[in-house]
Structure formats: structure tokens, C-alpha cells
Chains A and B, each alone.
Chain A
């Protein structure tokens, strides 16, 4: 299974070069602010770690493929929320509703639904990707770590 994950990782590398070259509006520090925000949203909705990492992966891959002029800083907020919606739909049993997610931003639900289709289509619907948390879970299973190590390594991941 580890090999399968590594293969998936090679096929869909998590971060493109969008941070440095293509987009002047989204800097590494913006990204770190927005990912912190995503961590909080996921905690709010009690979503799993896998969902969080997948959401970040979805956002990164979308930003890396989309032409830079289309994505400005103010769009980043709705992109991050829509990524969480997509990741949660893929992963979780209890998915937050669109209405719950919309409350967190000043856009309306039409915008989110429309962007959802655009993101899914841009990524060619590929959501079965390797995320740090999936790797971790495999390692845990293999070595039977105690809970302290688990918590520490999860923290480092985040």
C-alpha cells in the first residue's frame, strides 16, 4: 500500500511552482495564512485529518493549474472553502452542508457550487491522492507507535 501511495504522489505532486513564479498575488506567507485558516475551519466542522490535507492538496493543485490572472487574493478565501467541501465529500461520512460553509464567507451558494464544478473539472476529478496523513497512518500501523509519537508527528505534518 505504501508503494501505491508513492505512485499516487508522483502522479499528482502536491504543490506546483505557483508560489514563486506564476502568481505575484499569492506569496508563501499568504498560503500559510490560508492553510492556518483551513485548519481552523476543519476543526470547526470536526472533519478528519485526511480531509484537511486533501483540501490543501486540492487547493494547491488548482492554483498551480489555473492561469494566474484568474486567481487573486480575494478569491483565495472561497477557493479554500470549496476545496474543503470537495475533500469532505470525498472522505467523510458527515459532510458539512453548502449552507454551513457559505456562512463563513461573503459569497453566495451559487458561487461555491459553480467553483466546485470548475475545480473538479480542472483537476480532472482526481481526488485519490497521497496526503501526509495517509502516509503517517500507514507508518503507524507498521511500527505500532505510542500515542505521544503519533501526536508529535501529526503536529509536524501540519
Chain B
């Protein structure tokens, strides 16, 4: 990974032509840009440095770069360069304002986009291929004693040809050989956070990634996240109502975890995982899902074992080209845009209806009665479509 020092912003503009902002997060922005000389499309992840009271180079970036330098795998998004844009002179001059950019290959799709686009019809061969590639990447990461700590569908990128690239190692870290070392508990995006983290464990291991992979598999089958909890307590309620509340006899020492009492109180028994996926009854894929979403991390299978699961060797064979992906990118920001547009349309029709009715209060009442919120509605159509076309025909 060569690192390039660029001495001012003009030089940066000479090198890259900005196309658009792809994403924005706590760390900074992600830009899509064209490299002027090679004409290649790249993603630039910007990291602001040295500004006022900041703590200097962000911890997540330091760790991410070290992680990315370690890996060399086709299914892990690799770092091309590191750009340091600064007016720092050689030596000890102070820098007033500088910025760093991580340069990656631009990958158009991610699993959030693919799964939530109702225009894309899933088939089993492609789901199997995506899962297989994702698991291979996870095995590679784990083989270096590292944990990704933020696997979720929007961090799993997909190229036009169906190649999966695991991205965003900002929370990843190497495991300490000493099993008693504690780590930061606040990792992994909420919907993909495993029970041990929700219960306050800080001596977790790489099995947290396996849980997140399980959540992604469930997302493929359902076409929506399996545990979209609104907060940590709600997450626990959703998970434990499906899996049962763990006790010391089902999960060694679980009752000693910090948040056990708070998180396990007042949980009603709901439909089990198998009931939830009743339409898949008898399919091998549910076995794999159950093994990945095992609440006790000690009993949860490893990524390597998951790859050897019979589902992957059964027909249909995994095929990364079985799914025709659109040329426009389908990613998290696309989903957000769709959602915002839907919301706008709803507001417009709401306003029109109000004008037509003339009666403000009544129109709101009728609207509430006749139209469920848009997100929910879309989910229902997705599931129906999925039930009607794909499950019965293709998932075996």
C-alpha cells in the first residue's frame, strides 16, 4: 500500500475528478471520483485531521489501515493508496489544516441495496454465492486473529459481476492472545449485534462476526432485517422471544454478564426461528441459519465450519452471475433516497387529499386508517413477492 503525500488541495483536484458524494458518516465523507490519468473510478474516504480540538489521527483510521494492510483476499476490499493532503513542510513545521483520504476501488452495489430493491428477484444460487464469498472473507479475516466488528448488509459490497467485497474495517481489531483481555463493548451496528454484546460482555471473540453473517442470511430469506430493534432492550426482546431467554444451564455463566438482569426481564415468548421461517420448512438453509444465530457464542459455529455446511454443496450450485444486477448502483444511500422520495410522495398525496376534502381533521383520520406507514407497506409487498415467486420455486 503506497502512501502518497499531496501538498495542497489543488494537486488533489488535478489528480481526481469528483463525481458525487456516496455516503456520509461519523468519520467523514465517501466520495466517488475518477482518477484523471488512468480513468479508473475510485471511492475516496475522507478523514479530517488536525482541526482545532480534535484528537489527531482518528483511532478507527489507524486500526483500519493496519487491518487492510494485513489482508490480501479477493473478497476483502483492498486499500489502494493513502493520500495525505497537507501543507506540512518537511520536518517540524506546524500544519494548519490537513486531510487524509483512503482510496479504494469503487464498488457500485451493497447488500442493503440489492435486498431492498423489489425489482431484483433473488434466487438461491446467487444468495448461496454471496454467502459463500462473504464467509470466505470472514474466514480470511479471522485467520489473522482479527475481528471485523461491524459486519452488516451495507458493509458487504457487490461488484457488477457479483463479486463480494467486505468493507469498512474501522472497528476491526486484532485479538489479544490473552483470552482475559477486555475490549470495547460498543461495537457492531445495533441490528447486527449479538446477544453477548447486548448483555454487556467485553471479553467477546470473533463469533460476533458469525452472528452478523447469520443476520445477513436471514435478511436474504426475509428481504428485511431479522432483528430491527429500536434500542438495546428491544433487540434483546426480539432475539430472546424467538430463541428463549438463556440461563446458566443453556449458556455457561450467562447470568454473570453485566446487563443480564436488566435485559432479560419481561420477555414474552414469541414464534421460534423455525416458525418465523415456516415457509422454508424442511430446507437445509434453516439449519445453517440456526447454527449461525446460536445465542451462546461457544455453541455458535465458526465461519470456517459454516463454509463446510451441506447447504453449500447441495444443488443449485452457488453462482455469482445468476443474479442480473442493474447498472445503476443499489446501495445504502440509494435505499435512503428511495425512502425519502416515498415519504415525499406520501406527503404530497396527503396534501392533495386535504385540499380535496377541505376538512382537515377528517382527511388525516381517513389517511391514518387507510394508509399504513410506507416502510411497512413496502415490506409487505416484498414478502408477498418473495413468497409467491422465489421461495417456492428456487429455495431448496
Contacts and interface: CB of A to CB of B under 8 A. Distances in A.
A and B: interacting chains: yes
A93 B176 CA distance: 12
A89 B59 contact: yes
B5 A93 contact: no
A4 interface: yes
B184 A117 contact: no
Nearest to A88: B59
6 nearest CB pairs, A to B = A113-B56, A125-B65, A137-B177, A89-B59, A128-B66, A137-B178
A127 B182 contact: no
A141 to B, nearest CB: 6
Interface of A: 1, 4, 48, 50, 70, 75, 85-86, 89-90, 93, 95, 97-98, 110-118, 120-121, 124-128, 134, 137-138, 140-141
A93 B184 contact: yes
Contact of B177 (A70, A111, A138): A138
Given A70-B91, A98-B55, A125 B145 contact: no
Given A48-B181, A115-B92, A128-B174, 11 more contacts: A70-B91, A89-B59, A93-B183, A98-B56, A113-B56, A113-B95, A114-B94, A117-B95, A125-B1, A125-B69, A134-B177
B57 A128 contact: no
B98 interface: yes
Contact of A1 (B49, B62, B92, B177): B177
Interface residues of B, number: 37
B57 A124 contact: no
Interface string B102-123: 0000000000000000000000
Contacts of B3: 121, 124-125
Interface in B153-176: 174, 176
Nearest to A119: B57
Contacts of B62: 86, 89-90, 120, 125, 127
Contact of A127 (B66, B88, B176, B178): B66
Contacts, number: 89
A138 B184 CA distance: 22
Nearest to A78: B92
Contacts of B59: 89-90, 95
B88 A114 contact: yes
Given A117-B95, A125-B82, A138-B177, A1 B145 contact: yes
Contact of B55 (A97, A127, A138): A97
21 contacts: A4-B145, A90-B59, A93-B184, A95-B59, A98-B56, A110-B94, A110-B95, A113-B50, A113-B57, A113-B95, A114-B50, A115-B92, A117-B84, A117-B86, A117-B95, A118-B88, A124-B1, A125-B65, A126-B66, A137-B178, A141-B178
Contacts of A114: 50, 88, 92-95
Interface in B48-63: 49-50, 54-57, 59, 62-63
B279 interface: no
A138 B49 CA distance: 36
Contacts of B69: 125-126, 128
B56 A116 contact: yes
B66 A90 contact: yes
B144 interface: yes
Contacts of B50: 110, 113-114, 117
A50 B252 CA distance: 30
